[in-house]
Structure formats: C-alpha cells, structure tokens
C-alpha cells in the first residue's frame, strides 16, 4: 500500500521532532509543510527535503494530494485550523494543549464528527516506553488491585528558553505540562470522579502558575496525586522525566528518577533500568519525549490504516481537558470539583 501523504502546519520548535518522527514512520510521510513565517518554512523545508511549502494553510489544502494533516502550531490557532482541515474532510492530528477553552475543544470534536474524519490530539506522554512499562505491570495483575498512585513531574529546567511563550501565558503549568501528567494519571488509573487542587507561582519572572498539586478520586476507587513544578531546584535535574508510584493490594511499583523500575509483585522483587532509547535524531534529555513523538505518530498511521480510533482521540482528550479545567476551578475555589460536570 502507498504511504499516506501528510501536510504539517507549524514548523516551529517542536515540529522538528515531529518531522523526524514522520521520516521514521512506516506507512506515511510528510509531503507538504506550512508556516506563516517564510524564513522558518524555508529552513525547515530544506532540512527535511520537503519542496511543497505554503505560508497559508488553506492554500496547502486547496492544492490537494493530502491524506491527513498534522497541526503543530501553538494553541490559539488550533480551533480555526482544525475547523479548516476537517472542512476539507482530512483526518487531523492537533498538538496539545488541544484548545484555549473546553468550549473550543468541544466545537473541534463536533467539527470532526460532522465531517466524519478521525481527530487525534498529540498527547504523547502516555507513549513514553517507561510509562507504558508501568501500565503493563498494572494490567498484568502483578501488584494486585491498585489503591494509591502518584504521577509527578518536578524540574527547574529553563523551559522558557526553547518555548518563550510559556513565560507569558496566564495559565501555565496546568495547561502546558499538567495536561500531560493528568493524561498519564487517566491512562494508568482510569477516569476521575472528583478532584481538588492547589497552584502557586514561585518564579516571579513569569505570568502564570508554575506549581500544581492535585488530589484525584478515580471512578474505580483509586486515590492519586498528580503534581508538577518548574521551580524545583534538585541535586540532579530530572527534566523531562515523569516519576510514578503505585501501591496495590499485592505489591507496589515505582518508576524512579533515572528510569529505574522497582517493583515488588506476586512474582518477587524486580529492579531494572528501563531507560528509553535515544533515537538516531534525538538528544538527551529530550529523548523520552522524542521517542513518544515517534510512537504516537506511528499509532496514528496504524489507526488510520486499520480504521480504528486512536487512543488519544478528540473525544478521549475532552476528558483530560476537563481535568485541566477542574484543576483551575478547584484551585480558584478551594472546593472539590467534579470534572464530568464541566463536559
């Protein structure tokens, strides 16, 4: 079968990872790119040998020849672009954060349904192989029935150097990073009945909050804590690692800093290094994120080819988005919030 032909919109900081991932993907390739910045368009087009280049997304779609579109722009453009691409009946991937508001996100999902085309959010953290290893242990029953979990991302890394817009947004860590960590909590422990949360801004040089602590009650009775910080000065910086703790009725599992897996389960104690691979185009410390980009994009190709729904479909991501909104609402009111009431 011929490769699926993709068009990518937004050739900025993170799109470079996506374009490397697409170059490795089996069954798809990017044949056209778009960026409103002509210089950026030229540089990236030359780097990846892509000659079909557009400064306007509609012009790229009008020119035709595409089987799907990958949107890699920042959040303010997502709704208009998803409504545009689905209007052309093109299966679409949209970067996280999915939308500026839940109402926008719902409208984008509705647009895809109306057009009858798949929509996937590029919510890649659950595609990191160490996180999938923890999920496989939970699914295997090794530690029995989980009753406590913690998903944590704490760093002092200068994320603003690569993504300067993050220093200016009013809603920062929950929207940008919390969304990943909350999605991992949903992936591991299931949907959330209610939550409470606290946020703070420690770094005076930025506009938004840079720490968050969330207490979640999952539908299946698991209690979890999700916490994230970009103001944590640690002896060994762990960006961009997510660490995980789970206790179950028959054992426990830890994904510790340095990708060390420590488990006590039905079959005994296991300790091992489960570091993700450093793909040929990747570089530390970003390699775990870069690996997950390649994995989610391959999942998209496989889903599109099989006609199945991708794991982080627009519909699925609305539930993660509701956790983000519930976190801000709980932090503002200091009251318990039921995320499903926001949907």
Stretch of 130-138, 144-152, 174-182, 253-261 contacting ligand 89V, by CB under 6 A: 174-182
For residue 169, the minimal CB distance to ligand 89V (Å) is: 11
Residues binding ligand NAD (CB under 6 A):
9-15, 34-37, 40, 57, 72-75, 77, 81, 95-97, 122, 124, 163, 176, 289
For residue 46, the minimal CB distance to ligand 89V (Å) is: 25
Q: Which of 28, 116, 18 is nearest to 305 (CA)?
A: 28
Q: How far apart are CA 239 and CA 232, in angstroms?
A: 10
Answer whether 230's CB lies under 8 Å from 183's CB. no
Stretch of 22-30, 54-62, 144-152, 173-181 contacting ligand 89V, by CB under 6 A: 173-181
Which residues are CB-neighbours of 61 under 8 A, at least 6 positions away?
Answer: 7, 69, 84, 85, 88, 90
Applying CB under 6 A, among 32, 69, 115, 289 the residue interacting with ligand 89V is 289
Q: Which does 10 bind (CB under 5 to 8 A by kind): ligand NAD, ligand 89V, none?
A: ligand NAD
Q: How far apart are CA 281 and CA 84, in angstroms?
A: 32
CB-nearer residue toward ligand 89V: 108 or 289: 289
Applying CB under 6 A, among 29, 129, 163, 252 the residue interacting with ligand 89V is 163
Both tokens assigned to 149? 């979990």
Angle at 251 between CA 224 and CA 275, to 5 degrees: 75
Q: How far apart are CA 222 and CA 204, in angstroms?
A: 36
For 316-343, give the DSSP string.
Answer: HHHHHHHHHHHHHHHHHH-S-B-GGGG-
Q: Which does 246 bind (CB under 5 to 8 A by kind): ligand 89V, ligand NAD, none?
A: none
For residue 328, the minimal CB distance to ligand 89V (Å) is: 17
Answer whether 71's CB lies under 8 Å from 85's CB. yes
Q: How far apart are CA 206 and CA 203, in angstroms?
A: 6
Q: Which does 238 bind (CB under 5 to 8 A by kind): ligand NAD, ligand 89V, none?
A: none
CB-nearer residue toward ligand 89V: 149 or 240: 240
Residue nearest to ligand 89V (CB): 177
**Residue appearing with tokens 């089987």:** 67
Applying CB under 6 A, among 45, 91, 208, 240 the residue interacting with ligand 89V is 240
Residues found in the chain = 343
CB-nearer residue toward ligand 89V: 35 or 210: 210
Q: Does 176 bind ligand 89V (CB under 6 A)?
A: yes
Angle at 145 between CA 140 and CA 147, to 5 degrees: 130
CB-nearer residue toward ligand 89V: 155 or 196: 155
Answer whether 149's CB lies under 8 Å from 246's CB. yes
Q: Which residues bind ligand 89V (CB under 6 A)?
A: 159, 163, 176-177, 180, 240, 289
């Amino acid at each position: 079968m011929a490769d699926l032909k993709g068009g990518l919109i937004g050739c900025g900081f993170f799109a470079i990872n996506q374009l490397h991932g697409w170059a490795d993907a089996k069954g798809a390739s990017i044949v056209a790119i778009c960026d409103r910045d002509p210089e950026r368009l030229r540089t990236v087009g030359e780097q990846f040998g892509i000659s079909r280049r557009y400064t306007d997304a509609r012009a790229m779609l009008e020119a035709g020849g595409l089987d799907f579109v990958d949107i890699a722009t920042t959040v303010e453009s997502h709704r208009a672009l998803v409504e545009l691409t689905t209007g052309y009946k093109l299966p679409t991937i949209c970067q996280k954060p999915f939308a500026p508001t839940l109402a926008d996100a719902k409208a984008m999902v509705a647009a895809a349904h109306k057009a009858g085309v798949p929509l996937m959010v590029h919510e890649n953290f659950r595609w990191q192989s160490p996180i999938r290893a923890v999920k496989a242990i939970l699914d295997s029953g090794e530690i029995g029935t989980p009753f406590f979990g913690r998903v944590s991302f704490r760093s002092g890394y200068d994320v603003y150097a690569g993504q300067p817009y993050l220093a200016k947004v009013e809603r920062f860590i929950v929207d940008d990073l919390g969304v990943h960590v909350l999605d991992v909590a949903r992936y591991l422990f299931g949907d959330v009945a209610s939550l409470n949360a606290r946020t703070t801004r420690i770094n005076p040089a930025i506009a938004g909050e840079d720490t968050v602590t969330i207490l979640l009650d999952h539908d299946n009775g698991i209690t979890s804590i999700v916490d994230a910080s970009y103001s944590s000065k640690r002896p060994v910086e762990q960006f961009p690692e997510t660490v995980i703790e789970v206790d179950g009725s028959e054992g426990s599992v830890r994904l510790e800093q340095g990708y060390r897996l420590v488990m006590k389960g039905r079959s005994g104690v296991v300790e091992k290094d489960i570091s993700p691979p450093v793909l040929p185009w990747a570089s530390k410390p970003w390699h775990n994120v870069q690996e997950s980009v390649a994995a989610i994009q391959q999942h998209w190709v496989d889903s599109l080819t099989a006609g199945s729904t991708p794991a982080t479909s627009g519909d699925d991501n609305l539930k993660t988005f509701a956790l983000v909104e519930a976190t801000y609402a709980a932090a503002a009111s200091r009251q318990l919030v039921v995320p499903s009431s926001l949907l």
